[in-house]
Amino acid sequence: MARSLGVSLAEAYPQVAAMWLQERNGGLTPAKATPKMQVAVWWRCAAGHEWEENISNRTALPKWKSGDVAACRECVGYKVSYSYPDCGHTAMITPEAAAKKRGRCWKCQQEWWQANEQRLKKELSTAAKAAAGRAGKLLDAVPLPSDVPAALATEWRWWATKHLQGAIAAEEQIGREGRTEEMLARVTEMAARLLPTKEDAGRAAAQSGVLRLLDQAHWAEGWLHQLTGRAARRVCKDDLENMAWLLGELLAAWSQRAAEAVAADRAKGYGPPATAEVTRVLTKVVLTLKDELVRDSPLAPYSRAYKELRLPMVPNGKGRYGRADVVIWIPGGPNIVIEIDSAPNPASVEKLIFARDAGAFPLWVRFGKGGIEEIDGVMVVDIRDAVRGVCEAGS
């Protein structure tokens, strides 16, 4: 059957042309149209179903047509006609979508959402918080692998609870029936494969340095023993001291520049920097340690510095996983885990001990007030005096 550019639809696809609804298509006819025209026209099948569709779509042969190029979507059950009760629009949609009995078509739903967005978000947030207990009861019945690490189980439960709360709220507030069942199936499936194999864990670490298990859970290479049972070796004390010394040099150079900048600001009438601002600046300085370590090294393109990287552990008294302020990953070497605090922080101590036991370089940058606790195998970089000098510069 000839289907060249100059052949009409009537010649190339007579069975499709027979469904042409001429009274609704104006002056265009199957004899004038070509098979690949991107023009929407009206069609009517032998059963009386009418719809508007591009000519090029009618001459295509997707799987749902089962080899019949003239197949009607409604006759074969691929699409059905559905009238939305709230907006009154009618559209051809899948039977699965029709079964959800949505009140508005997609366009009207978007317009409605934009008009009610602020109110709905507030209502959804309130409803989600109220659904925490119900979400927890549903998760109690979900089986977890017997050998899954406790920290990963906690991470999964936090992630699953948030999603279930949102699904319950969506059902209650905007009538999205079945959302809770869908989400429960999803988190149950995730629970069944919480624990990766040693091969999966090792492959992911070798390729990218970070194994992403859940939507928001990161596992860095130095912590793979948490998954695989591989023994971790504590870093050499001399190496840890050298790392702390290098970081201290970077921070000392920063303090000199910062003091000059603060003094200049004081001369213009500005006050000293706030603790939160000092923390942000110190984090930026600490992140540059990665560049110092791999300067002129072939490993430079493959090394990474992370901020607020999630750890596979949950500090006491916390409801979710811990976060390391800065983690530096260099292929072939231990991770460097750095916490930055303006005051004693028990959660930071727990995270640094975890990093130490995982074979990482644990460094604690301390400024501000309060004493400094000595922790076996953790090196403290004490910059309290230097930061105090920065904040008082020009006063």
- Using pLDDT thresholds of 50, 70 and 90, give the confidence band for residue 306: confident
* Chain position carrying tokens 């047509």: 65
When pLDDT is cut at 50, 70 and 90, the band that residue 117 belongs to is confident
- Which token pair is 110? 């978007």
Q: What is the pLDDT of residues 61-104, one digit of tens each?
A: 998 898 999 999 889 888 888 899 999 998 888 888 888 888 88
Burial of 61 (0-12, 13-18, 19+ CB in 10 A): exposed
Residue positions counted in the chain: 395
pLDDT band for position 8 (cuts 50, 70, 90): very high
Ramachandran sector of residue 150 (left: φ over 0; alpha: ψ -120 to 50; beta: rest): alpha
Average pLDDT, the chain: 84
Please state, in angstroms and rounded to a whole number, the distance separating the CA atoms of residues 256 and 122. 47
Q: Is the pLDDT of residue 281 over 50?
A: yes
Of the listed ranges 120-124, 154-158, 384-388, the one predicted with least confidence:
154-158
- Cβ atoms of 94 and 86 within 8 Å: the answer is no
Per-residue pLDDT band at 156 (split at 50, 70, 90): confident
How far CA 37 is from CA of 6, 14, 17, 56, in Å, comes to 12, 16, 13, 5
What value, to the nearest 5°, has the Cα angle with vertex 308 and ends 304 and 311? 90
For residue 317, the model assigns a pLDDT of: 66
* Residue pLDDT, tens place only, 184-223: 998 898 888 776 555 655 555 455 444 344 333 444 444 5
Q: Given pLDDT bands bounded at 50, 70 and 90, which one contains residue 2?
A: very low
pLDDT tens digit sequence for 38-70: 999 999 999 999 888 999 999 999 988 989 999
Express as a percent the part of the chain with pLDDT over 70. 85
Alpha helix ranges (H) inside the chain? 9-12, 14-17, 55-58, 95-99, 106-130, 132-140, 150-174, 179-192, 198-208, 225-228, 237-267, 275-287, 289-293, 346-357, 384-392
pTM (global) more than 0.75: no
Helix (H, G, I), strand (E, B) or coil at 213: coil
Task: Tell me how far apart the 2 most distant CA atoms of the chain are, in Å.
Answer: 91
Percent of the chain with pLDDT over 90: 44
Q: What is the CA radius of gyration of the chain?
A: 31
368: left (phi over 0), alpha (psi -120 to 50) or beta: left
Q: What is the pLDDT of residue 303?
A: 86
Cα gap 48→56, rounded to integer Å? 21
pLDDT of residue 160: 87
Encoding tokens for residue 348? 């930071």
Residue 288 — pLDDT band, cuts 50, 70, 90?
very high
Residue 348's pLDDT band, with cuts at 50, 70 and 90, is: very high
Dihedral sign for Cα 85, 88, 92, 93, please. negative
Asked if residue 5 has pLDDT above 70, the reply is no
CA-wise closest residue to 368 among 263, 245, 276: 276
Cα gap 280→326, rounded to integer Å: 12
pLDDT of residue 3: 41
Distance CA 43, CA 16 (A): 9
**Residue 227 pLDDT greater than 60, yes or no:** no
pLDDT range class, residue 374, cuts 50, 70, 90? confident
**Closest C-alpha to 123, from 113, 111, 136, 109:** 113
Q: Does domain 237-392 have CATH number 3.40.1350?
A: yes
In the chain, where are the structural domains located?
9-78, 107-196, 237-392
pLDDT band at residue 245 under the 50/70/90 scheme: very high
Q: Which pLDDT does position 150 carry in this prediction? A: 65
Query: Whole-angstrom Cα distance, residue 71 to residue 65?
Result: 6
Most confident of 96-105, 292-301, 383-392: 383-392
Q: CA 369, CA 345: separation in Å to the nearest integer?
A: 11
* Mean pLDDT for the stretch of residues 306-317: 76
Burial group, residue 269, by CB count within 10 angstroms (0-12, 13-18, 19+): exposed
Look at 8 and 205; give whichever has higher pLDDT.
8
Contact 383, 364 (CB under 8 A): no
